[in-house]
């Protein structure tokens, strides 16, 4: 076996091991709750069929495992946003058409699963430390990451639209979605059911309607 082939096999094994740890961590979080709170490295190592030492060979801390999983979840949301927008029929170039574009992408994206997964990974803010707003921050951060890529795709699809108007519209929509994401978490606890998905759809419609018609008109 050549040195290069051996190196490639070791890299492949390392990638498989890292993936096994991440899959185990995600599954345990969905079953029990946040890593480091509801379960620890021993349970993670056992589920991934590796040693404690192997876990820390791949990740500097349990927080790094969690942050890696959160980043992966958010990447999936961003990809879904942009893929949906890219494959939808071209708009008519008006701001109403731009809004329809973005609203369609938001409705087609499984935000319930993404927000629920992040909630399972990081948990609720401790009641004795109101400064710890990790779940809410991660939701907001996810939409902030999505904003730039989605905005670029909307501008590409609507070259006649004023880029500043597009930016204001996209930011208004995504900021609103981040706000109702927090509200949905508090109201449902992140549970994924037909009822909570209907509630999410209603909250998303409220955001879209508010952006389309204006806050004062939408609320009376």
Task: Convert 83-129 into a string of H (helix), E (strand) and C (coil).
Answer: HHHHHCCCCCCCHHHHHHHHHHHHHHCCHHHHHHHHHHHHCCCCCCC
pLDDT at 5: 74
Gyration radius of the chain over CA positions? 20
Tokens representing 211? 């952006």
Q: What are the residue boundaries of the structural domains of the chain, listed by start? A: 1-59, 61-213
Which residues in 80-96 are b (16+ Cβ under 10 Å) and which e? bbbebbeebeebeeebe
Domain covering 1-59 in this structure, CATH number: 1.10.10
Which tokens go with 34? 């946040």
Contact at 8 Å (CB) between 144 and 78?
no
Q: What whole-number distance in Å separates Cα of residue 207 and Cα of residue 130?
A: 26
Which residues, other chains included, contact 132 with Cβ-Cβ below 8 Å and sequence gap of 6+?
125, 126
Instruction: Walk along the chain (220 residues) and give the pLDDT tens digit of each residue.
Output: 677 777 778 889 999 999 999 999 999 998 888 887 888 999 999 999 999 999 999 999 888 898 888 878 877 877 887 787 777 776 677 888 888 888 888 888 888 988 888 888 887 655 455 545 555 555 555 556 667 777 787 888 788 888 899 889 988 988 888 889 889 988 998 888 999 999 999 999 999 999 998 866 655 5
DSSP 94: S
What is the rounded CA–CA span in Å between residue 105 and residue 143? 13
Query: What is the model's pLDDT at position 145?
Result: 61
CA 137, CA 122: separation in Å to the nearest integer?
A: 11
Please identify, in words, the CATH class of the domain defined by 61-213. mainly alpha
Question: How far is 139 from 156, CA to CA, in rounded Å?
Answer: 26
């Amino acid at each position: 076996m050549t040195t290069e082939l051996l190196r490639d096999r070791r890299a492949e094994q390392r990638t498989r091991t890292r993936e096994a740890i991440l899959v185990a961590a995600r599954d345990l979080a969905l079953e029990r709750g946040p890593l480091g709170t509801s379960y620890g490295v021993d349970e993670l190592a056992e589920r991934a069929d590796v040693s404690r030492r192997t876990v820390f060979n791949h990740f500097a801390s349990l927080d790094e495992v969690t942050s890696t999983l959160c980043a992966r979840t958010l990447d999936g949301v961003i990809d879904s946003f942009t893929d949906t927008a890219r494959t939808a029929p071209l708009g008519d170039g008006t701001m109403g058409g731009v809004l329809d574009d973005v609203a369609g992408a938001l409705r087609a994206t499984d935000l319930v699963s993404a927000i629920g997964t992040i909630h399972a990974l990081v948990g609720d803010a401790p009641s004795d430390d109101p400064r710890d707003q990790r779940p809410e921050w991660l939701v907001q951060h996810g939409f902030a990451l999505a904003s730039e890529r989605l905005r670029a795709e909307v501008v590409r699809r609507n070259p006649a639209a004023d880029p500043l108007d597009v930016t204001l519209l996209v930011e208004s929509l995504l900021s609103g979605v981040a706000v109702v994401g927090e509200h949905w978490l508090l109201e449902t606890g992140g549970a994924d059911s037909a009822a909570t998905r209907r509630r999410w759809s209603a909250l998303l419609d409220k955001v879209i309607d508010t952006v389309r018609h204006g806050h004062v008109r939408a609320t009376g």
